[in-house]
Structure 1
Amino acid sequence: MITSAIQWFIGLGSTVFIPIIIFILGLCVRLKPSKAFISGITIGVGFIGLNMVVNMLQTALGPAIKLMVSRYDLSLSIIDLGSGPGGPLAFSSTMGVLIIPIAFGLNLLLVWLGWTKTLNIDVWNLWQPTFIGLLVWGASQSYIYGVVAMIAAFLLELLLSDLTQPMVSKYFNLPGLSVTHLMALSPVILAVPLNWVFNRIPGFNKIDASPEKIEKRFGVMGDPLVIGLIIGIGIGILAGYDVSRTAQLGMEMAAVLKLLPKMISMFMESLTPIAEATQAFTQKHLHGKIVNIGMDAALTVGQPAVAATSILMIPIALFLAVILPGNKVLPFGDLTLFVYVFTILVCAFKGNIIRSLIGGAIYTIPMLYLSTWLAPTVTKAFDLGNYKLGSEGIVSFVSAGLWPNAIFVWTAKNFSLVGIVILMLLILVGLYYLNVVKKFNSGEKEVK
C-alpha cells in the first residue's frame, strides 16, 4: 500500500510532486499559505519551461550527434544509454521506495544534530544514491550490501552539498540554497584542486574567459546568442548538414543559451521566499542553525558559462572516446545532459570557460574508463530493476562512470560489507568534522 502510494507520487513527475513538496515545506516554515501556493506553482512552471528548453536541446542535437558518429565511423562496442532511464529504474525497485523515508528521516536527524546544513527536498535525484545501491547489489549479489551503500551514498551527497554550498550560493546567487545532485557535485573533487593549480601558472592565471569578459572584449561576438549560433553552426558542419539545417541548428542553440537563464529565473522567484522563511524558522526553532534547501542542479544549468561549456564538451567527449585506448563506451545518450554533469565544475572555475573546458576534458577521461569498467554491473543493475533493455546487449552511460559509483562497487567487490560500512563511517566523520568541529559555512565562507 505504502509502496504503491510512493510510486504513484513519484509517477506524478517533478513538475507536480516538487511543487507539492515546496508548498508543504512553505507551510512547515510558517510561510503564508498564499505565498507557499504561488511558490509551488511557480517552481512547477519553471520545471516545465526548463524541460521544454532541454528537450529542444536534445531534439536538435540528437540527430546531429548521430550523424557525426556515423559520418566519422565512430564504432565502439558499448552503447551510451544515457542517464535518463536511471530514475525510472531506481524508483521501480524496492530500494527506490526505501530511499525516500530513510533519506528524509536521516536528513532531519542530521540537521537537528548539526551534522549537516542541507535539508534535501530534491526527491527525484534520490535515484542516484539508489542507483549506486543497485550497482552494489549487482556486483555483490547482496541486497543488504546495496541498501547500506545506498544510505552511504546519500550521506556523501549531503557532505558534498555542504562543502560546495558557499561556492554555489555565491556564484549562482542562490542564498539559502544548495545543490544535492550527485552527478553535478562529483566533479568538484577535481575542479577545486585543479583551479588551485591554474591559479599558480604564470600567464594562464591572468586569462579571464568568463562570458562577461568575452562579451566585453569581443562585443557582439561574445553575446550568448552569438556564441550559441556559432556552436550550433559548428556542430551542423561536423554532422554534414546542408546550409539550411546548419543554420536552423545554429538558431536553436542560440535559443537554448538565451532561454535557459530566463527559465532559471523562475526557480529563483519561487524559492527565495521559501529560503528566507526557512532561515527565519531555523533561527527561532533550531537555535539559530543554518539550514540550506537542497535542490536539483536544474537551478544552475541556465548560467551562460555552464551552457556554453556543456555544449562545447560534446565534440570534445566524442574525440576523447575515439582516441583513448581501452575505452569501449561511445558517448551518445548523456551528451545532451552535460549541462547537469559540468555545472558545479564550471562554478568551481568561477565561469572561466577555458579552465572549464580543460577541467571538463580531464574529468571526462576517467568517466569514460570507469563507465567501460562498470558496464557489466550497470547492465546487471538494469536487470535487477526489471528494466527491459531489448536487444541492446551490454550497456552503460558516460555519467555511470562517476567516481562515487566506482568507489562503492570496487569496495563491495574487494571488502564486502565491512568496507561499505567503513566508507559510511568515514563520510559521517567528514560531516561531523565539517559542520561541528570545523563549523564550516557558519558565515559565508567560500571554497577556495
Structure 2
Amino acid sequence: MLQEVHTIFQTFGASVVVPLIIFIIALLLRVKPKTAMMSAFYAGVGLTGFTWVITEFTPVITKVVRQMVNNTGIKLPVVDIGWEAGSLAAFGSTVGLSFFVFGLLVELILFAVGVTKVFLPSNIWNNFGYMIWGTLAFYATHNYWLSLGLEFFMLLYSLVLAEIQADRWSNYYGIENTTVDALHNIEQVVPAILLDPLWNLLGFNKIKMTPKDFKKKLGIFGEPITMGIILGLILGILGNLSSLTTMKAWGQITSVAVQLAAVMTIFPLITKVFAQAFTPLSAAIDEQQKKKTHDKQNNRYDKKRWFLAVDDGVGYGESATLISGIILIPIMVLMAFILPGNKTLPVVDLIAIPYMVESIVAITRGNILKVVATGVVWFSLGLYAASWLGPIYTGAVAHYGVAIPTGVVMVTSFNLVARPLNVLVFAAFISENPLWITLAIIIYLVLLFGLRKYRPQIWRYLNKMAAKNA
C-alpha cells in the first residue's frame, strides 16, 4: 500500500496534488465552489511558476559557486549535492513512506484536538522534511519504531515553532492566517528570537537596511531589478576572479547579472499569483473567527485563531528575503573555508538560502543586516552539524536514494540537514538513551504548554520586537 500511495503522488506531482487539497479545504471552509476552483488553479499555476524559475536559475548559480570554490583550491570532504537526493532517499525507505501515509492522519488529529492551530495538510508536499530524518535514523539504528517516533516528534516540535512565528510571518508576507512549516526551514525561528536582543544592543535595529530604504536612499539603484544586476555582477566576478581578462568570463558575469535581475522581478509576480490561492481561504477563516467571538473586528491575538500551512515558495521572492539570501551565498562559501574543523562545502543548496531565512526576515521585519548576521551565526553552526552527519547521510542516500557522484567522498544537503536543532534532536533519538529522549520530550511539552497558555503575549512580544527596527 505504501508504494502505491507513493506512486500516485509521484505521478501527479505537487502542482496537481496541492491544488486538489486546497480545493477540498476551501469547500470545507464554505468557500463558493467557483472561488474554490480558482484558488486551486492559482495554486497549481503558482507552484509551476516557482518550479520553472528555480529550475532555470539553479544551474546558473551552482556553476558560478563551483567556480568560486575551485578558484580557492580548497577541498572539503562533505559536498552539498542538493536537497533532491535526500528527498529521493526519504521516499525510498519504508519508515519514510510510513510517515507519508500515516502522517497526514496524525496531522489532521493534532489539528482537530487543538494540539496545534496550524493546519498542515495544506502543505503536505513538504512532509519529506520529516521523512528524511526518520530515514537517517533507521539507517543508523535499524530501529523502525524509534525512527518513526523521531519523525512524529519532529512534526510536533516544528508545529510549535510554526505557530510561534505564524502571526509575524502572515503579517510580514501579507497573507493573513497563513504560515510555513517546512521542517528544514522552520528552526530558524529560534535564533531569530534569541539573537535579536544582541543585534539591538549593537544598534542593528537603528540601521535602515530594508528594500524600501534602499529605494529611498539609492533611487534607481535601490530597485529590485537593479539590485539583482548588482548582486549578479558581484557573484559573477567572484566566480571568475582568475579569468577577468577574458571575454568568456564577462559573458558569464553579465548573464548571471541579467538572470538574477529576472528572478528578482519575476518571482514576486509568481508569488502574487500563488498568494491568490489562499486569499479566499484566509478570508473565510477570518469570517468564521468573527462569528465565534461575536467580534466584528479581526482579533489577531485570539487564542482560537488558526493558520493554513503554505509552501515557503510564497516568501522566496519577497525583496528582503531574496536580497538577504543572495548576499549570504558568497559569505557561507567563505565561512566554510575559514571555520576550523568544518568539513562541509555548501554548493547546490545555496540557492535555497532565501527559503532558509524567511522566518528571520519576518521576525526582524525585513532588516537585512539582522537577517545576514543571524544567518552567518546559525548556518555556520549548521556546517558543523552537516559535517558530523556526513557519514550517516551519505550512507542513507546511497542505500535508499541515488548513486554518489564520482570523486566525492561524502555528500550532504545544506538545506535539509545543516540544522543545529534538528541534529540535536536526531542525536538524542539515535543514542537510544531514554534520558536524552525524555529530555527532548520534556522541552517540547514545556514549549507547547507555554504556547497554549501565553500565545497572545508571545505574539505581542514578537510584534514589539519587530517594531524596534527602523
- Which residue of the other structure, out of 401, 406, 414, is the alignment partner of 2:418? 401
- Deviations along 1:329-375, one digit per CA (max 9) or x if unpaired, are 11112111112112212222211112221111111210111100110
CA deviation after TM superposition for structure 1 residue 439, in Å: 4.1
Q: Are 1:438 and 2:438 counterparts?
A: no
1:267 maps to what in 2? 274
1:109 maps to what in 2? 109
- Number of residue-to-residue matches in the alignment: 446
Q: Are 1:253 and 2:260 counterparts?
A: yes
2:298 maps to what in 1? none
CA deviation after TM superposition for structure 1 residue 383, in Å: 4.1
Q: Are 1:379 and 2:380 counterparts?
A: no
For 1:285 and 1:95, locate their aligned partners in 2 and report how far apart those are by CA, in whole Å: 40
Pick closer, same or farther for the CA change 1:162–1:10 going to 2, 3 Å. farther
**1:139/1:409 contact within 8 Å kept:** no
CA deviation after TM superposition for structure 1 residue 283, in Å: 6.6
For 2:107 and 2:288, locate their aligned partners in 1 and report how far apart those are by CA, in whole Å: 17
- Deviations along 1:216-256, one digit per CA (max 9) or x if unpaired, are 01111111111110111111111225222211211111111
2:127 maps to what in 1? 126
1:235 maps to what in 2? 235
Pick closer, same or farther for the CA change 1:285–1:191 going to 2, 3 Å. closer
CA deviation after TM superposition for structure 1 residue 138, in Å: 2.6
CA deviation after TM superposition for structure 1 residue 446, in Å: 4.0
Of stretches 86-95 and 184-193 in structure 1, the one that deviates more from structure 2 is: 86-95
User: Could you tell me which amino acid in structure 1 is paired with residue 271 of structure 2?
Assistant: I
**2:231/2:326 contact within 8 Å kept:** yes
Q: Where do residues 289-328 of structure 1 align in structure 2 (5 Å cutoff)?
A: 289-328=304-343
For 2:169 and 2:369, locate their aligned partners in 1 and report how far apart those are by CA, in whole Å: 19
Q: Where do residues 35-434 of structure 1 align in structure 2 (5 Å cutoff)?
A: 35-120=35-120, 121-202=122-203, 204-240=204-240, 242-281=249-288, 289-389=304-404, 391=406, 392-399=408-415, 400-416=417-433, 419-420=436-437, 422-434=439-451
**1:178/1:294 contact within 8 Å kept:** yes
Q: How many percent of aligned residue pairs carry the same amino acid?
A: 26
**2:85/2:401 contact within 8 Å kept:** no
For 2:177 and 2:400, locate their aligned partners in 1 and report how far apart those are by CA, in whole Å: 36
**1:282/1:290 contact within 8 Å kept:** yes
CA deviation after TM superposition for structure 1 residue 384, in Å: 4.7
For 2:446 and 2:106, locate their aligned partners in 1 and report how far apart those are by CA, in whole Å: 15
For 1:405 and 1:316, locate their aligned partners in 2 and report how far apart those are by CA, in whole Å: 23
For 1:184 and 1:38, locate their aligned partners in 2 and report how far apart those are by CA, in whole Å: 29
Q: What's the secondary structure of 2:170's corresponding residue? A: helix
**2:100/2:128 contact within 8 Å kept:** no
Of stretches 325-334 and 85-94 in structure 1, the one that deviates more from structure 2 is: 85-94
Gaps of 5+ in 2: 241-247, 295-302, 466-470
CA deviation after TM superposition for structure 1 residue 421, in Å: 5.0
CA deviation after TM superposition for structure 1 residue 418, in Å: 5.6
CA deviation after TM superposition for structure 1 residue 183, in Å: 2.0
**1:7/1:92 contact within 8 Å kept:** no
Q: What's the secondary structure of 2:166's corresponding residue? A: helix
**2:88/2:401 contact within 8 Å kept:** no
For 1:373 and 1:191, locate their aligned partners in 2 and report how far apart those are by CA, in whole Å: 24
Q: What's the secondary structure of 1:76's corresponding residue? A: coil
CA deviation after TM superposition for structure 1 residue 376, in Å: 1.0
For 2:286 and 2:87, locate their aligned partners in 1 and report how far apart those are by CA, in whole Å: 31
For 1:441 and 1:92, locate their aligned partners in 2 and report how far apart those are by CA, in whole Å: 43
Pick closer, same or farther for the CA change 1:382–1:427 going to 2, 3 Å. same
CA deviation after TM superposition for structure 1 residue 444, in Å: 7.4
- Deviations along 1:396-421, one digit per CA (max 9) or x if unpaired, are 12231202331123212435356335
Pick closer, same or farther for the CA change 1:279–1:90 going to 2, 3 Å. farther
Q: What's the secondary structure of 1:293's corresponding residue? A: strand
Gaps of 5+ in 1: none
Pick closer, same or farther for the CA change 1:405–1:198 going to 2, 3 Å. closer
User: Could you tell me which amino acid in structure 2 is paired with residue 398 of structure 1?
Assistant: F
CA deviation after TM superposition for structure 1 residue 177, in Å: 0.4
User: Could you tell me which amino acid in structure 1 is paired with residue 100 of structure 2?
Assistant: I
Pick closer, same or farther for the CA change 1:280–1:432 going to 2, 3 Å. farther
For 2:55 and 2:29, locate their aligned partners in 1 and report how far apart those are by CA, in whole Å: 34
Q: What's the secondary structure of 1:334's corresponding residue? A: helix
Q: What's the secondary structure of 1:84's corresponding residue? A: helix
CA deviation after TM superposition for structure 1 residue 113, in Å: 2.8
**1:375/1:395 contact within 8 Å kept:** yes
For 2:370 and 2:234, locate their aligned partners in 1 and report how far apart those are by CA, in whole Å: 21
Of stretches 212-221 and 93-102 in structure 1, the one that deviates more from structure 2 is: 93-102
Q: What's the secondary structure of 2:112's corresponding residue? A: helix
Of stretches 406-415 and 277-286 in structure 1, the one that deviates more from structure 2 is: 277-286
For 2:21 and 2:461, locate their aligned partners in 1 and report how far apart those are by CA, in whole Å: 29
